[in-house]
């Protein structure tokens, strides 16, 4: 990492340094300044999983950030790219992104872009793949449902890590074992099993204004609904969020019935190989990602 690299922006000098060298409250203030819901704890969670840089002014104020999250040898997601409103028109975002791209030169990349950032990412050769709906609201209890006798729904523990990592790798298209090993002990997780094999899973953890469900991997809407239902029941009457690329069908209908309406959207973009090609394989038993771990985490 090239710490100390500097640039003159808006008549004052900024320098780039490692994101782990600044106070969490400075990062929290940065995200508050652009209306993002991240708590200081959410920033720390991201710092433990990924790598990143911040832009500092002459007196050490954090005016921008960018992070990347390597998954396996040749794929990474980019996220938490923020510049203070004062600098958004001064090229600071491109400066930060240029630095990030020098750190992952051999990686295929994916990100979820806000409306304001899409033009920047297109200029850096990212291509559009899909829309992510940020579904959130006060959760309503779902209608009762019977589980078929061939299915077991149970809570997950650390002994399930190998199985859920393998399922996630097939659904996501890259190895997220490190992410899952961090999420599993700090979240409530459910797995759906058939004949003793985990075929769908979900996690729910504290984030932002309340709790977020994700990641969720499953091969069908019915299985995805089954593994998120307990989370919705647990958080009925409370703020709940789920980010998904599912636009219609039973899964999206279930979210709407449970009070999780679309609040905003972001755009999934990629550079290198298509990120979501795994979704196009067409086999009916192929699992896919029904809910993101987060916009930055994929």
Q: Taking a C-beta distance cutoff of 8 angstroms, is the pair 134, 261 a contact?
A: no
Domain with CATH 3.40.630.30 in the chain: 6-106, 134-291
Q: E strands of the chain, at which residues?
A: 6-9, 12-18, 51-56, 62-71, 75-83, 108-113, 127-138, 151-155, 188-194, 197-207, 210-218, 239-244, 261-271, 288-291
pLDDT (tens, 9 = 90+) of the chain, 298 residues, equals: 343 465 555 556 889 999 999 999 999 999 999 999 999 999 999 999 999 999 998 889 999 999 999 999 899 999 999 998 777 666 788 999 999 999 998 899 999 999 999 999 999 999 999 999 999 999 999 988 888 888 999 999 999 999 999 999 999 999 999 999 999 999 999 999 999 999 999 999 999 999 999 999 999 999 999 999 999 999 999 999 999 999 999 999 999 999 999 999 999 999 999 998 655 555 667 899 999 999 999 9
Nearest to 100 by CA among 287, 92, 269: 92
Nearest to 269 by CA among 70, 111, 107, 116: 111
Residue 167 three-state SS: helix
Inter-CA distances, 93 with 61, 85, 175, Å = 16, 11, 28
Q: What per-residue confidence (pLDDT) applies to 91? A: 78
Q: What per-residue confidence (pLDDT) applies to 137? A: 98
CATH number belonging to domain 6-106 = 3.40.630.30
CATH fold of 134-291? Aminopeptidase (3.40.630)
Q: What per-residue confidence (pLDDT) applies to 9? A: 55
């Amino acid at each position: 990492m090239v710490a100390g690299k500097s640039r003159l922006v808006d008549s004052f000098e900024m320098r780039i340094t490692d994101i782990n060298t600044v106070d969490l409250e400075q990062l929290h203030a940065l995200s508050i300044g652009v209306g993002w819901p991240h708590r200081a704890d959410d920033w720390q969670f991201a710092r433990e999983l990924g790598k990143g840089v911040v832009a500092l002014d002459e007196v050490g104020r954090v005016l921008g950030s960018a992070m990347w999250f390597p998954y396996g040898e040749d794929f990474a997601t980019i996220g938490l790219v923020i510049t203070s409103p004062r600098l958004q028109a001064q090229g600071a975002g491109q400066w930060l992104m240029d630095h990030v791209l020098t750190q992952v030169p051999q990686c295929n990349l994916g990100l979820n872009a806000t409306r304001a950032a899409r033009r920047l990412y297109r200029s850096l050769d990212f291509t559009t793949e899909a829309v992510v709906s940020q579904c959130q609201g006060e959760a309503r209890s779902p209608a009762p449902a019977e589980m078929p006798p061939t299915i077991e729904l149970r809570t997950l523990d650390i002994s399930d890590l190998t199985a859920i990592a393998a399922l996630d790798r097939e659904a996501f298209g890259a190895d997220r074992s490190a992410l899952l090993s961090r999420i599993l002990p700090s979240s409530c997780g459910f797995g759906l099993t058939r004949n003793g094999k985990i075929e769908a899973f979900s996690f729910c953890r504290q984030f932002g204004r309340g709790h977020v469900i994700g990641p969720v991997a499953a091969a069908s809407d019915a299985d995805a609904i089954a593994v998120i239902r307990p989370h919705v029941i647990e958080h009925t009457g409370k703020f709940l969020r789920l980010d998904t690329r599912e636009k219609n069908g039973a899964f999206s209908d279930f979210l709407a019935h449970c009070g999780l309406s679309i609040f905003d959207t972001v755009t999934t973009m990629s550079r290198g190989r298509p990120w979501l090609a795994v979704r196009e394989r067409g086999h009916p038993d192929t699992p896919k990602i029904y809910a993101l771990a987060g916009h930055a985490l994929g």
